[in-house]
Structure formats: C-alpha cells, structure tokens
Amino acid sequence: MVTIKVVHYINQFYAGIGGEEKADHRPEVREGVVGPGMAFQKTFGEEAEIKATVICGDTYFNENLETATSEVIAMIEKYSPDVVICGPAFNAGRYGVASGAVAKAVHEKLGVPVVSGMYPENPGVDIYKKYAYIIETANSAVGMRKAVQPMAKLVIKLARGEQVGSPEDEGYISRGIRQNYFAAERGSKRAVNMLINKLKDVDYTTEYPMPVFDRVSPSAAIKDITKAKVAVLSSGGPVPKGNPDHIESSSASKYGKYSLQGIDDLNPENSETAHGGYDPVYANEDLDRVLPVDVLKEMEKAGEIGSLYEYWYATVGNGTSVANAKKFAAEIAGELKSSGVDAVILTST
C-alpha cells in the first residue's frame, strides 16, 4: 500500500519553542512529527505519514507575510505532499491567519488540498475558508483530541480523491462555495415544503443560509456636549512611543490604557502606531491623524466639550478575533462607565 505523504504546519508554541517571547521565530523545517503531529500520526496508523513539520512564529509570519509565505511554501514543496495540515489553530487569531495564508499559497501554487482546524470566530476562517477544509474546533487546545479525528479522516479522504460530504457530514466550516447538483424534487416544491415547515414551527434546513450580524441599538444623544466628559478609543493602534505593552500588529491579544496628562499633541517623540494593516508613515508623522487629541484638547479649552477623559485606550483591529474584541469592549466600557464618561469617540484607521 502506498503511504499518503503529509506535511504539517504549526507555530512556535506547538513546536515547543516558546510562547509570545519566541513569536518572532523564523521558518524552519524538521523531519517527521512534532508536537500535535503525534496525535495525527497515531490516528493515521499506516495509511498516512507526516514526512515533515514546518514551523514559523506567529509574529514573524504576520509581520513578514510575503517573505514568510514564500519561505514556508518552499519548505513544503520539497516533500511533494499529497495533503497539507495547518494547525489546528483553535481561536488563536495570528496562528489562524498564518495557517490560512499557508493554505491559500499551497492551494494556488502547489495545487495540494489543505485541512485545518479553527474556532468559527477565528479571523482566519472568513479570510481563508475557500482555500482549505477547516474543521470546526473548540475555543482552545482543550479540544485538540476532538479536532484531530475529523481532520485526519478528511486528510485520508482528500488524498484518495474520494467525494467530500457536506459541512454537516464532515464537520468542516461552510466554505461559501455553491455547487450544482440534481435534487430529487424541483425547487418550487422544496421551497413550499420549507415554508410549510416554518409556519408549523417544524425544523427545516435552508438551502441558502444568510449571514447573521449583531445589531447594536444606538445610545441616546448627549443633551449638552459642553458639559460631557469625552473619552477616545481606537483600534488603529495608537500607542506611546516604543509600544510599552507590546500590542501585536495583527490579531491583538490585548489593549492598552495610556495617560493623556501633560499631552496636548501626539507627535513622533511621544507616540506611534502598532498597527500592521496599513502604511504607518503618515500616522507616525502625526498620530493625531488616528487619535485627534490635539483638536479635543483645543475644544476642551474653548469650552466646546466638558472635559477630555485623562486616559486613552488602544488596540489593533487588524485580524483581531471577535471574541477578543468583545472582551476588550466589555472591560473598557466598564471602566469608562465607572469613571463617569458620557461619550466615546472611537476611531479606526
């Protein structure tokens, strides 16, 4: 029996190299199995073999996207794999984006199928789901065992060229790809049957699911802005010079809170942007372009607003997961409310 050849892509953490302090690790390749690859190899048995494991730090990959992708693809191509596994990345945003970028490059440049695993809210899902079969996983590595089984099963199926079933049957996240098929009943009859089931409150499955978006009701207008305490918050990455909290340039895992005492203007000496999703040149020349502290200070002195809150909050929205964004928002909103802030100006890039 011909053994299926697999190459596995993982980050520096799962390779046992280190955590955030080693996230700038450059791409390397190791023969055979590393880290979570052991679970995959055990599940494969003799049907497939992980020939090599390609490793790259999440920060290095996301901050050097083109270079890192080229380096990683060259390493993968050397082994002529039948299938490539990326991750699983669970809800780790930068890991998910890196895994997705690798999947896209493998799909487009090598023409090799890719299997990955991510939590549905991982930003890598929406960006790269068309290029890989992404098995839905738990929020964290606690779900590793449950993720490996369906991923390994799909690897074997793809390598053999077998028909891949629906997302419901195989456990992967819908890829947004529509295919023609011959149904037993004509469309009009299926539509009427769905309508009848809906009216009867009977379960049914739509053939064209629509995206669901959060709806946020706007707050009441400020009655007198000249008496209001106003705060500034930004996902455009405005931080003090040197980025003291080391907020990531992509897929941020944290936010910062910084004092505005003694600052009437953001300039190259006292501030910069940590954002990696846009050209930072003009922001770093004058960070007031991202966070309008200068104008708000002038408005405060002129009595056009009651006061400017003494701190600003910042994070990076580039690739940041919905789960992290909601967590940041809840914590920041709680602080602002307890500090008597009446209004918030939220800027982006």
pLDDT band at 145 (very low <50, low <70, confident <90, very high): very high
Across residues 224-233, what is the average pLDDT? 97
Q: Which residues contact 54 (CB under 8 A, 6 or more apart)?
A: 7, 8, 9, 10, 27, 28, 29, 72, 75, 76, 102
pLDDT band at 177 (very low <50, low <70, confident <90, very high): confident
Residue among 41, 31, 36, 40 at smallest CA distance from 15: 36
Note the pLDDT of residue 58.
Answer: 93
Note the pLDDT of residue 2.
Answer: 59
Note the pLDDT of residue 50.
Answer: 98
Across residues 271-284, what is the average pLDDT? 92
Domain ranges of the chain: 4-170, 225-347
Answer yes or no: is pLDDT of 218 > 90. Answer: no
Note the pLDDT of residue 1.
Answer: 57
Note the pLDDT of residue 89.
Answer: 96
Q: Which residues contact 155 (CB under 8 A, 6 or more apart)?
A: 4, 6, 40, 44, 48, 83, 85, 115
Note the pLDDT of residue 219.
Answer: 86
* Least confident window among 30-44, 154-168, 178-192, 249-263: 178-192
Note the pLDDT of residue 324.
Answer: 84
Percent of the chain topping pLDDT 70:
99
Answer yes or no: is pLDDT of 181 > 80. Answer: no
Residue among 68, 38, 70 at smallest CA distance from 53: 38
Answer yes or no: is pLDDT of 215 > 70. Answer: yes
Note the pLDDT of residue 170.
Answer: 94
Note the pLDDT of residue 93.
Answer: 86
Answer yes or no: is pLDDT of 216 > 70. Answer: yes
Q: How far is C-alpha 325 from the geometric centre of its chain's CA atoms?
A: 11
May I ask the CATH architecture of the domain 4-170? Answer: 3-Layer(aba) Sandwich (3.40)
Across residues 201-218, what is the average pLDDT? 84
Answer yes or no: is pLDDT of 79 > 80. Answer: yes
Across residues 239-243, what is the average pLDDT? 97
Give per-residue burial for 135-156: e unless 16+ CB within 10 Å, then b: bbbbeebebbebbbebbbbbbb
Question: pTM surpassing 0.75?
Answer: no
Note the pLDDT of residue 208.
Answer: 80
Note the pLDDT of residue 183.
Answer: 86
Answer yes or no: is pLDDT of 319 > 80. Answer: no
Q: Which residues contact 199 (CB under 8 A, 6 or more apart)?
A: none
Whole-number average pLDDT of the chain: 93
Conformational region of residue 80, where left means phi above 0, alpha means psi within -120 to 50, and beta covers everything else: left
Note the pLDDT of residue 56.
Answer: 98
